[in-house]
Amino acid sequence: MEPTHIEHIGIAVRSLDEAIPFYENVLGLECYNIEEVADQKVKTAFFKLGQTKIELLESTDPEGPVGKFIEKKGEGIHHIAFAVKDLNNKLTEAEAKGVRLIDTRSRKGAEGLDIAFLHPKSTFGVLTELCEDNSEK
């Protein structure tokens, strides 16, 4: 895969309004973007720290992936996203190595990135996202 860096860490929260002040007022980070990803049934808030972002995820539907996660496990780390190049080829490689894919091809995610998820049951319990920034290509 040869990821270049951790693109972001996704954290499931019940309420962006309640969680954002911790990141801004305690950690001193700045929320630079709030975006709803209707497709994923979430509202997201982003903070930047070096090359890595923190993505807070509030569910907009109890039947969506984050709604179900919070119902089952409560708030906490939901996924880790690695930045890769040639995302679709990396998915093919991962599948050939026996990894279970959630997305067999990349799709559009928050911040205009191309994204795809690997199933936590084949990544040792951590929902793993691969992403690629093709916005300047």
Burial group, residue 35, by CB count within 10 angstroms (0-12, 13-18, 19+): middle
Question: Which position's Cβ is nearest ligand CMX?
Answer: 65
Task: Assess 44 for contact with ligand CMX (CB under 6 A).
Answer: yes
The two tokens of residue 39 are 């497709």
The two tokens of residue 56 are 């807070």
Query: In the range 76-95, which residues lie near ligand CMX by CB under 6 A?
Result: 78-79
State the binding string over 96-115 for ligand CMX (x if CB under 6 A, else -): ------x------xx-----
Task: Assess 128 for contact with ligand CMX (CB under 6 A).
Answer: no
> What's the min distance (Å) between Cβ of 54 and ligand CMX?
12
Among 10, 23, 94, 131, binds ligand CMX (CB under 6 A): 10
Q: Which long-range contacts (CB under 8 A, 24 or more apart) does 93-100 make?
A: 93/1, 94/1, 94/118, 98/122, 99/123
Task: Assess 66 for contact with ligand CMX (CB under 6 A).
Answer: yes
- Residue 104 CB contacts under 8 Å (≥ 6 apart), including other chains: 91, 95, 116
**What span, in angstroms and rounded, lies between the C-alpha atoms of 101 and 119?**
6
Binding interface with ligand CMX (CB under 6 A): 10, 37, 40, 42, 44, 55, 57, 65-66, 68-69, 72, 78-79, 102, 109-110, 117, 119-121, 125, 127
